[in-house]
Amino acid sequence: MAFQNRAKEKCRGYLLFVVMVAAFGGFLFGYHTAVISGALSFLTSSFHLSIFRQGVVVSILLLGGLLGALVAGSLADRFGRKRAIILTALLFILGAAINAYAQSWMLLLLGRLISGLGVGIISVAAPLYLAEVSPPNYRGAFVSLFQLAITLGILASFIVDYFFAPGGSWRWMFAMGIVPAIVQMFALFFIPETPSWLFRHGKDELALSILGRFRKDRQWMKQVDAMKEVAKPQRRGGWKMLFSHQLRSIMIIGILLSLCQQITGINTVIYYAPKIFGEAGFATGPGAILATVVIGIINVVATLFAVWLLDRAGRRVLLLAGVAGMAISLGFLSFAFFTQWAAISKIAVASLMAYVAFFAIGLGAVTWVILSEIYPLKIRGKAMTVALFANWASNCLISLIFPDLIDILGPDGTFLLFSVICFLSFWFVYGCIPETKGKSLEEIESLMTAQH
State which of residues 96, 266, 307, 309 lies at the interface with ligand BGC (CB under 6 A). 266
Q: Decide the pairing of beta strands 10-12 and 2-4.
A: antiparallel
- Alpha helices by DSSP H, 176-220: 178-188, 195-200, 204-214
Residue 3 three-state SS: strand
Query: Which residues have C-beta within 8 Å of that of residue 169, sequence separation ≥ 6?
Result: 42
Of all helices (H) and strands (E), which one includes residue 265?
none
Q: How far is the CB of 149 from ligand BGC (least distance, A)?
A: 10
- The region of 72-80, 265-273, 412-420, 428-436 touching ligand BGC under the rule CB under 6 A is 265-273
Residues 172-191, one symbol each (x = binds ligand BGC by CB under 6 A, - = not), give --------------------
The CA distance from 192 to 171, in Å, is 35
User: Does position 334 bind ligand BGC by CB under 6 A?
Assistant: no
Query: Which residues have C-beta within 8 Å of that of residue 339, sequence separation ≥ 6?
Result: none
- Alpha helices by DSSP H, 360-436: 365-373, 380-432
Pick out residues in 46-105 that bind ligand BGC (CB under 6 A). Answer: none
Kindly tell me the burial class for residue 186, based on how many C-beta atoms sit within 10 Å of its own C-beta (0-12, 13-18, 19 or more): exposed
- The region of 38-46, 145-153, 238-246, 304-312 touching ligand BGC under the rule CB under 6 A is 145-153
**What phi, psi does 235 have (nearest 5°)?**
-95, 30
- The region of 176-184, 193-201, 262-270, 407-415 touching ligand BGC under the rule CB under 6 A is 262-270
CB 267 within 8 A of CB 420: no
The CA distance from 71 to 385, in Å, is 7
- The region of 42-50, 263-271, 286-294, 399-407 touching ligand BGC under the rule CB under 6 A is 263-271
> Number of residues in contact with ligand BGC, rule: CB under 6 A?
11
- The region of 148-156, 313-321, 324-332, 415-423 touching ligand BGC under the rule CB under 6 A is 148-156
Pick out residues in 347-366 that bind ligand BGC (CB under 6 A). Answer: 364
CB 64 within 8 A of CB 117: yes
State which of residues 88, 115, 144, 299 lies at the interface with ligand BGC (CB under 6 A). 299
The CA distance from 451 to 233, in Å, is 23
Q: How far is the CB of 190 from ligand BGC (least distance, A)?
A: 27
User: Does position 267 bind ligand BGC by CB under 6 A?
Assistant: yes
Q: How far is the CB of 258 from ligand BGC (least distance, A)?
A: 9
State which of residues 150, 250, 304, 353 lies at the interface with ligand BGC (CB under 6 A). 150
Binding site for ligand BGC (CB under 6 A): 147, 150-151, 154, 261, 266-267, 270, 299, 364, 395
